[in-house]
Amino acid sequence: MSERLRRRAVLAGIGTYLPEKIVSNAEMAERVDTSDEWITERTGIRQRHFAGRHETCAFMGTEAARGALATAGIVPENVGAIILATSTPDQAFPSTAVHVQGMLGAKNAFGFDISAACSGFIYGLGIAEAMLRAGQANHILVIGSEVYSRILNFADRGTCVLFGDGAGAVLLSARDVAEDGPGILSTHLHSDGTLTDILYVDGAVGQPDKPGHLVMNGREVFRHAVTLLASAVNEALAANDLTAKDIDWLVPHQANRRIIDGVGRKLGLPQERVVVTVDQHANTSAASIPLALAQAINDGRIKPGQLVLLEALGGGLTWGSALLRM
Ligand code: COA
């Protein structure tokens, strides 16, 4: 008897874009009252990329999407949907996803943006996975693209040193696979709307004043992050009847080395199985997970058949996880 197959969202391609301009901690220290030592010690960040004028959210998202399509071997006409996660869109509307659609020539797709701050990529995976399994599309681009340099308050040294710009994209394809075959095995999404005041942007186009700046209570965010992220990981493990030992790679949202290490310790995951890029990119919000995932796939660490757990937390608070077999 032939084995029963199930429809899954399989990661078929991945691409990234990083702005040309790299800004080291020492260069940040020329601009604000900080030091390489303080930033490295408290966050693990050594440098970040800052976008030039032409490197908009849509431009970077399109470049990353082109990479994802090229590695998947899929032409833009075959993309059914474009889901773009960002807090820094080019315009309030049309969505940045639709701009990306136009630039790619993905004329058979529909596109929309999602707002879930640093958890945006995980939210995008959750939505795309459900749509693919429901048969609403066969190929979906999930993109995280951010230009946080445009919303940073350079008078606030407690936040401006933490973030960077960039984009990452994956192409998810619906495939009928065996139980132990590839694809997204679970996604879990959460938010807590009583914590909107610890990480936010103090303005938007719908506000009477003007688009604003990022504001954060770093200690409060830190306190919630380790607990909520560890619980998100445990939730994903329990839902899939797994333990931390079964996970080949944890690819966390890259906010802060101390948060990443704290979650790893809580779960008993050795550092060698945790992908870290926060030193090179700083916190690129919705782009950070695909940027980290791409690096570990491209340098050969993440291999076909392995189990990879993604987790993120961001403004909202929002948080969640996605477990996938490569
Ligand atoms: N350079 C030098 N000194 C700085 C500084 C900087 N960039 N930013 C803050 N400081 C100073 C503060 O003014 C304070 O000085 P004081 O003691 O003289 O008042 C001191 O460093 C400690 O500030 P504090 O904010 O208490 O530091 P902290 O140990 O909490 O570290 C963060 C600050 C932001 C690194 C930390 O809270 C954090 O990582 N939070 C999570 C942030 C995050 O990841 N957010 C995104 C989630 S998606």
Q: Is 43 a pocket residue for ligand 1 (Cβ < 6 Å)?
A: yes
How many Å lie between the centroid of ligand 1 and the Cα of residue 111?
38
Query: Catalytic: which of 25, 57, 99, 118?
Result: 118
How many Å lie between the centroid of ligand 1 and the Cα of residue 217?
9
Euclidean distance between CA atoms 174 and 309, whole angstroms: 20
For 65, the token pair is: 């999407």
**Contact yes or no for 72/84 (Cβ under 8 A):** no
Q: What is the pLDDT at residue 297?
A: 98
Q: What is the DSSP letter of 289?
A: H
Task: Please report the atom of ligand 1 found closest to the CA of residue 161.
Answer: 7
Q: What is the pLDDT at residue 107?
A: 98
DSSP-derived secondary structure for 132-183: HHTTS-SEEEEEEEEEGGGT--TT-HHHHTSB-EEEEEEEEEEEEE-TTSSE
- Let me know if 118 is a catalytic residue: yes
How many Å lie between the centroid of ligand 1 and the Cα of residue 256?
11
Q: What is the pLDDT at residue 1?
A: 56
Query: Catalytic: which of 25, 253, 256, 281?
Result: 253
* Domain ranges within the chain, ordered by starting residue: 6-177, 183-325
Task: Just give the CATH number of 6-177.
Answer: 3.40.47.10
Q: What is the pLDDT at residue 43?
A: 97
- Let me know if 253 is a catalytic residue: yes
**Contact yes or no for 50/165 (Cβ under 8 A):** yes
Averages of pLDDT over each 10 residues, the chain, 326 residues: 88 98 98 97 98 97 98 98 97 97 98 98 98 97 97 96 98 97 98 97 80 93 95 97 96 96 90 96 98 98 98 98 98
Task: Write the residue with the smallest CA distance to atom 14 of ligand 1.
Answer: 158
**Contact yes or no for 43/161 (Cβ under 8 A):** yes
Q: Do 6-177 and 183-325 share a fold?
A: yes
Q: What is the pLDDT at residue 110?
A: 98
- Let me know if 283 is a catalytic residue: yes
Q: What is the pLDDT at residue 206?
A: 73
pTM for this predicted structure? 0.97
How many Å lie between the centroid of ligand 1 and the Cα of residue 218?
6
Domain at 183-325: CATH architecture: 3-Layer(aba) Sandwich (3.40)
